[in-house]
Amino acid sequence: MVLTGTERSQSEFATLTSHRGVIIGKAEGDHSTTSLRDLGSIVWPIVKGVMASPGEKVARQLEAATHARNIAFGIEAVGQSVDSGLGTTLLVENDYQVKPDNSSSLIDDCDNLVDIVIEKVLALGGNVMFVEDGSLANFQRIALILRV
């Protein structure tokens, strides 16, 4: 959970809640009239930072999945695998974005297909790991480690 609100409100909430352990970050300010889209833009960098993982562990997982041919890569293949419920861990470059077009099977009410894939992986109980831009060049910037 990312806690938003004035510093005073955040402090009071943190003192009173029994859910302190799930607060991953804070965004200060009164966002009661902020649109969901704008609030997402404020909160997403905090969530993204928490979800970032150590590079060496990611590299080992990716290498093992590649050798076992237990991987999907490229936005369309990853999207199809996620829709089939086959993915466990999504690896995506930090600033990777894909605008939807009419031929995409991932079209949704969103302007970035990568966000849709991330949401689906998380909804299925999978993990999302953000990696440095360029580190997934051989995988078209996005890769999904599949369930065995």
Structural domains of the chain ordered from first start: 2-51 (no CATH), 55-146 (3.30.1330.30)
Pair of tokens at residue 89: 């861990």
Helix/strand/coil (H, E, C) string of 1-65? CEEEECHHHHHHHHHHCCCHHHCCEEEEECCCCCCHHHHHHHHHHHHHHHHCCCHHHHHHHHHHH
Q: What is the pLDDT of residues 20-72, one digit of tens each?
A: 777 888 999 988 899 989 999 999 888 877 766 556 677 788 899 999 999 99
Binning pLDDT at 50, 70 and 90, where does residue 115 land? very high
Cα torsion through 147, 91, 77, 96, rounded to 10: 160
